[in-house]
Structure 1
């Protein structure tokens, strides 16, 4: 009988000890670096601003599409 009481006391002690422990913290991963800013250019035909990597460039002049490249630069007063 005394072993049963001792076993119950041990089970309760282990349960209390486990409930007081701090929960395991997952390893923190550093946040991903934000993307680098891109150079923006204006379309020579319509004036739309877009990233240089998306522009169609010919002879140093940027256009937003192949259609505007064929149309050429806009005549602005």
Structure 2
């Protein structure tokens, strides 16, 4: 069934992205929460879907600096 194919594709791709993001040193000690919206968030993505990732700093005391955000963006550019 087509819906299952999209769900399986979405889960596989999100797992790949999660694994790659876990290798970014700047994310290891951060308190960032990463979530996907759109077709990936609904597990309806296909090979032609773009991915909408959002990173939210969940630490109220220590906020992520703009420099760290830039480094994360550059490190993850190949995602």
Same fold (TM over 0.5): no
Give the number of the structure whose residues are more often helix, by fraction: 2
TM-score computed with the length of structure 2 as normaliser:
0.29
With structure 1 as the length reference, what TM-score do the two structures score?
Answer: 0.29
Higher RCO (CA < 8 A, seq sep 6+): 2
